[in-house]
Amino acid sequence: MIKIGIAGYGNLGKGLVKAIGKNDDMEAVVIFTRRDPASLKTDDADIPVARLSDAKQWTDKIDVLVLCGGSATDLPEQGPDLAKLFDTVDSYDTHARIPEYFAAVDQSARDTGHLSLISSGWDPGLFSVMRVLFSSVLPDGQEHTFWGTGVSQGHSDAIRRIPGVIDARQYTVPVQEALEAARTRQNIELTTRQKHRRDCYVAAEEHADKKAIEQAIVSMPNYFADYDTTVTFISEKAMRENHSRLPHGGSVIRRGRTSKNSGQMMEFGLQLESNPEFTASVLAAYARAVYRLKKEGKTGAVSVFDIPVGALSAADSESLRKTML
Amino acid sequence: MIKIGIAGYGNLGKGLVKAIGKNDDMEAVVIFTRRDPASLKTDDADIPVARLSDAKQWTDKIDVLVLCGGSATDLPEQGPDLAKLFDTVDSYDTHARIPEYFAAVDQSARDTGHLSLISSGWDPGLFSVMRVLFSSVLPDGQEHTFWGTGVSQGHSDAIRRIPGVIDARQYTVPVQEALEAARTRQNIELTTRQKHRRDCYVAAEEHADKKAIEQAIVSMPNYFADYDTTVTFISEKAMRENHSRLPHGGSVIRRGRTSKNSGQMMEFGLQLESNPEFTASVLAAYARAVYRLKKEGKTGAVSVFDIPVGALSAADSESLRKTML
């Protein structure tokens, strides 16, 4: 059994407990929290809860620690710190700062002989894998990434700040015509805006001026002004019942030429009913790979680009070749 | 520059010359043939042509030899033989015999310190990679592979053997309803037949009995009898003009659950205007990976499951992390 530690128990940590439950060769051995462990209610009472500050007492009980904190403030500190104590996997997703984050984690992991995989999940993560695969196979081509249908937390929050709004949910929706153009046409320009529209569901106060709220949304610079945006007012009850989930998804599409007359199209798509549970499932598979590659002697920081797909699987190489090739 | 040798100059070998032309870090240094080299007309007169039986005179001039022969008779012999002389890549696709083929190539490569990647291409190859990736991320799920729209040579040949038929082309076409069911529904049974229909284009002799030909096709056991099959008669000219290409494609779809209420769907799809050119492009990318991993000291036989995606790319790890993660 691969012994997994979980650092942080938000949506991602909760999803990871479920993901581990789906993999027969893994067990969750501890949940670390910055809160008082006694105050943390978990879905599975059998998994011990401990203070993150006591993590070093667990170094011989954990094979891989999965960091389930956020990229804004948690991971920049926890990633390099915890890579000194454990082999780790995280989902660091601040694209622009990945090089410096990688360098910091790499230093910690190398100094202490650990192996740390950064920026796993689906974007960054599986989408990144596909971008590299697709561009390697079709170097003469063009790539488009679409996101959705999925909830954007940032855009939902922006609507909630408008006076008179009680609650809001914003869905980013890929535009079908743009998807089709990406699949079938060479050399096209598609901006993020042309590729997506924004559907907003809003619960407003009883006597709120709905016209004014709608106007405030659709004209909001950066967030909505340049998109096709729809606003639908619903009750708080309908919000709870129909919009409490965190679906997401998207597509990476590359169209390229292998000769003057031969166009080729590669596509990877996800339709997720729960974004955090899926992300956690990706982290679980990469935790297995870290466990395997560490046993082979690999140390330092790595990314999804360094992982052979066979290392993600619970099956061994021979049976993979026999059954999956 | 990575110096690529090409063993065999059929559709796949021709596609490989084109694929190498799309990659700035590769050059085609020789085409090996079993025919008289002087008799072989190639698309690029700058690439020397040599006898396959003289291959051992080229061992110091080639980094990776790509085997472009067929799986029925060429590769079972060439794979193990040429792995004694070169680092190799092939597209061996007789699924049932992969374990014994792997063992034979592995023996040759290990004995002589070479690295050989078997069964690359798209199925086996990229589809296999996706099956392993998808089942590792969503272990509680179900997978479906669809093929097409694409030409099936075996089915086209079966039609050509019917009296009165001059030429024929059979397209395997995925059934849209089955595709949609695979994407959206859990625990469904879909047989290959339910998933595909067969569209046939036939050029018949002038006074042939078209009704009889059609009946012979749609009732042909194993090939057509159990499928929805359409037959369209066209002229030889229309056959030449509209059906001379070798398109193909397909999808690998996995739907799984990460918890009781959360269904998740992963999909990989290809739409190819030229099957052999695309397959050759995949082989070229894997040839680069073989070149890289050999430099790191790896020897023996490997499959696509053993290759980190970063090794397929012309870019180095640092720039991949910076631009693609």
CATH number of the domain residue A46 falls in: 3.40.50.720
- Domain of A179, CATH number, reads 3.30.360.10
| Residue in B23, B258, B304 nearest the CB of A19 | B258
Could you tell me if A12 and A45 lie in one domain?
yes
CB contact under 8 A, B325 and A288: no
Task: Tell which B residues from 170 to 199 touch A, by Cβ distance under 8 Å.
Answer: 183
Could you tell me if A51 and A102 lie in one domain?
yes
| Residue in A22, A132, A262 nearest the CB of B312 | A132
Could you tell me if A59 and A130 lie in one domain?
no
B264 interfacial to chain A (CB closer than 8 Å): yes
Tell me how close the Cα of B16 comes to any Cα of chain A, in angstroms: 10
CB contact under 8 A, B267 and A272: no
Residue ending a domain, among B275, B292, B315, is: B275
Number of compact structural domains in chain B: 2
pLDDT at B24: 97
Could you tell me if A79 and A24 lie in one domain?
yes
Could you tell me if A131 and A251 lie in one domain?
yes
* Rg of chain B over all Cα atoms, to the nearest angstrom: 22
Could you tell me if A161 and A73 lie in one domain?
no
- Determine the structural domain holding residue A151 and report its residue range: 126-275
Could you tell me if A133 and A263 lie in one domain?
yes
Residue B160 pLDDT class (50, 70, 90 cuts):
very high
pTM of the model: 0.96
Could you tell me if B269 and B150 lie in one domain?
yes
Predicted confidence pLDDT, tens digits, chain A (325 residues): 999 999 999 999 999 999 999 999 999 999 999 999 999 999 888 999 999 999 999 999 999 999 999 999 999 999 999 999 999 999 999 989 999 999 999 999 999 999 999 999 999 999 999 999 999 999 999 999 999 999 988 899 999 999 999 999 999 999 999 999 999 998 898 988 889 999 999 999 999 999 999 999 999 998 999 899 999 999 999 999 999 998 999 999 999 999 999 999 999 999 999 999 999 999 999 999 999 999 999 999 999 999 999 999 999 999 999 999 9
Could you tell me if B62 and B14 lie in one domain?
yes
Could you tell me if A232 and A147 lie in one domain?
yes
Could you tell me if A106 and A137 lie in one domain?
no
| Residue in A95, A139, A308 nearest the CB of B23 | A139
CB contact under 8 A, B325 and A304: yes
Write the pLDDT tens digit of every residue in B260-304: 999 999 999 999 999 999 999 999 999 999 999 999 999 999 999
pLDDT at B191: 85
ipTM greater than 0.85: yes
Tell me how close the Cα of B9 comes to any Cα of chain A, in angstroms: 17
Please report residues of A whose CB lies closer than 8 A to that of B96.
none
Structure tokens at B292: 């890289």
Could you tell me if B190 and B230 lie in one domain?
yes
Residues B229-234 have a mean pLDDT of 97
The pairing of strands A87-89 and B64-67 is unpaired
CB contact under 8 A, B23 and A277: no
